[in-house]
Amino acid sequence: MAAKPAPKAEAKPEAKVAAKPAPKAEPKPEAKAEAKPEAKVSADKSSVEDPQVVLNAGGDWPQWGGTRLRNNTPNVKNLPASWNVGDFDRRTGEWDNAEAENINWYANLGSQTYGNPVVAGGQVYVGTNNGAGYLPRYPNDVDLGCLLAFDEKDGKFLWQHSSEKLITGRVHDWPLQGVCSASLVEGDRLWFVTSRGEVRCLDTKGFHDGVDNGPIKDEVVRVGDLAAAAEGYADTVAALDEGKVSDALKKMLEDQGHPLKGDAKIETTTAGKAWTLTGNIAGNDRQLTLKVAGPRLSVFKALSVHDKDEADVIWVLDMMAAPLGVSQHNMAACSVTTYGDLLFVNTSNGIDETHINLPAPSAPSFICVDKNTGEVLWTNGLPGQNILHGQWSSPSVAEINGVPQVLFAGGDGWLYSFKADRGKDGKPELLWKFDCNPKESKWILGGEGTRNNIIATPVIYDDLVYVAVGQDPEHGEGEGHLWCIDPTKSGDVSPQLALEVKGDERVPLAHTRIQAVEPEKGQVAVDNPNSAVVWHYSIFDQNEDGEIDFEEEMHRSCGTVAIKDDVLYLADFSGIFHCLDAKGTKDGKPIVHFTYDMFAQSWGSPLIADGKVFIGDEDGEVAVFEFGKENKEPLEEIFMGSSVYSTVVAANDRLYISTKDKLFSIGKPSE
């Protein structure tokens, strides 16, 4: 889902708070983390037994979609229907808040932000890139994947997790995209997928609690580099061999936020290649490791409780390393969820830069991990060779008729349901599968075809499943579909079956990557008597003029539905905002209440909260509707200053909106 690179935002290290209430105015981690008792996290019962507890509370919003059902409908009250972000000087980044309204605070993010905010335990977490340059050792001209943590109360920066770019480049780690996944928070633990294809568990308090929590301790990270071509490089290496620190090395350390105070002790490990430096670094006695690696001298440190602005890592699962061997396409993106102690992850396994070859066909696309230890409990290889492009959806979990199901949207455009348990012999039990594309639809490179994969997250509402199809936003607009599915059936529950006519017989066809049914080869699609379709939406003649207008089509979508009181909202990538009846008709037809053209592409998903509906777009506007099928025009369309690729979330009487380069906390003034 590789978007075009954008200019970097100017670094601004501190959050800005409204002056008065609502003014008008590098060692590689192992593929399996060691299990230790101190890593144990108790299951949050409300997340397992009844997500409705989280929805009804109107408090924290601890994961993408709030709960494992993924329905973005929190019972948050007292939300504003209007706000003004003020003005920002394009040259200096300074905030003019003279006209600002209902803005509690804002914080600078990177230059591109696709991660959705998560709010839990008094902190706000957002995935982005390094355009804000919060850490001195990583100035904002260094491209990273970043997870930022802020204080929910005032937007103060707390800590950053930094993922250096993969050396394989854009095939796996597209420039400037940053961390695109939303975090999951339970208690004092956080889980997320990095831009390097890792699942990481962090301590939400970082090192602010004065403890380096394990199993991973003393994590080694890069402080900075002195290039071999730089002035003073040769003198620096020679000085180190003599037990001295050169002026060039001192300056580099100071520039990276690690100034050396006083004398230092230098010990040579390998002459001309490796040393240790012990001294007072930034006010604390600590040791640095220096190594000549390639055309540079690199300096490393072990993270400790002195590094308050760094993340405290508990465990790491590297999905690209053996034995999983995943090869993500352009990026890894999955907002994980849990069921008890089970953590579910879409690995993002995909094609290579040729857009044809699948480099890791035997690697799993979907895995279940013990959330306490990082141990892989089971893996699943579907869709195997049939992956169309990338796999960037996120899983959902629901208990249906007493059976816990975890839903995986595969990169072949099929939705798969597995039993949400620890599996057997390292494999899960497949409950049902559903082809979300018409059988004669065709995949064509670059997005010209009609077959789609799934970017959206499946939503469970009233024991029904809802999902739309779409493609990488770089593939542009195209034909889309929205499905309502009955998850109580089993087996192949697709709308149709693919068969080949052989004389008087019809032989089932194996699933193929490009096109399921090719009529010219004697292949046919027939209605499936075991179909789980409740209703399907692709076109709907709203004005009954016998023609299908652009606004009467369901186009490709990156978005996830939001449903309340049987009213469903969804934005497609063409910028059409759709409002439907969640139950449809008895004969499988959709009931479309209205569509609204936002005149800008939409990457995000709607929020339903406090009697209002919020949806953002690429032009940087957030449309605010009054909730209800009869409310066809927005109350407001509010400009946020830059593109809104993410989804508006609500928690604790506040709205949180991440734009391309800023995070806003929005709420009515306190009485």
pLDDT band at 589 (very low <50, low <70, confident <90, very high): very high
Answer yes or no: are the C-beta atoms of 348 and 197 closer than 8 Å. Answer: yes
Better pLDDT: 27 or 134:
134
Is the pLDDT reported for residue 580 higher than 50?
yes
- Specify the pLDDT at position 25: 36
Residue 212: CB atoms within 10 Å: 18
* Mean pLDDT in residue range 631-650: 98
pLDDT of residue 671: 64
Find the DSSP H helices in 364-454: none
What are 456-485's pLDDT values in tens digits?
A: 999 999 999 999 999 999 999 999 999 999
pLDDT at 21 over 80: no
Question: pLDDT band at 504, cuts 50/70/90?
Answer: confident
What is the arithmetic mean of pLDDT over 646-657? Answer: 98
pLDDT tens readout for residues 227-258: 999 999 999 999 999 999 999 999 999 999 99
Distance, CA of 659 to CA of 638 (rounded, Å): 12
pLDDT the model gives residue 4? 33
Q: Does 18 score more than 90 pLDDT?
A: no
pLDDT over 70 (residue 36): no
- Strand pairing category for 220-227 and 198-203: unpaired
Query: What percentage of residues in the chain have a pLDDT greater than 90?
Result: 90
Give the list of residues 6+ apart from residue 573 with CB closer than 8 angstroms, or none. 470, 473, 477, 480, 555, 556, 557, 558, 559, 601, 602, 603
Token digits for 458?
């499946």
Q: Is the pLDDT of residue 20 over 90?
A: no
Are 474 and 566 in contact, with CB atoms under 8 Å apart? no
DSSP annotation string for 159-198: EEEEEEPPTTGGGTS-TT----SPPEEETTEEEEE-TTSE
pLDDT attached to residue 411 = 97
Mean pLDDT of 345-358: 96
Report CA-CA distances (Å) from 132 to 69, 180, 211, 467, 534. Answer: 33, 16, 27, 35, 46
Contact 394, 407 (CB under 8 A): no
**pLDDT tens, 536-558?**
999 999 999 999 999 999 999 99
- Model pLDDT, residue 9: 36
Contacts of residue 395, defined as CB under 8 A and 6 or more positions apart, other chains included, come to: 334, 336, 337, 344, 345, 346, 366, 406, 407, 408, 409, 457
Lowest average pLDDT, out of 34-38, 295-299, 514-518, 581-585, goes to 34-38
**Amino acid (one-letter) located at 510:** A
Q: Tens digits of per-residue pLDDT, 486-503?
A: 999 999 999 999 999 988
What per-residue confidence (pLDDT) applies to 670?
79
pLDDT of 50 strictly over 80: yes
Q: How far is CA 216 from CA 29, 315, 373, 551, in A?
A: 9, 6, 11, 52
Q: What is the pLDDT of residue 17?
A: 58
pLDDT of residue 177: 95
| Angle (CA) 413 417 423, round 5° | 130
Sign of the CA dihedral running 327, 330, 332, 333: negative
pLDDT of residue 438: 97
Q: State pLDDT tens for residues 151-160.
A: 999 999 999 9
Q: Which residue type is seen at 262?
A: G
Distance CA 664, CA 103 (A): 7
pLDDT of residue 90: 86
Q: Is the pLDDT of residue 34 over 70?
A: no
On the question of pLDDT at 39 being above 70, the answer is: no
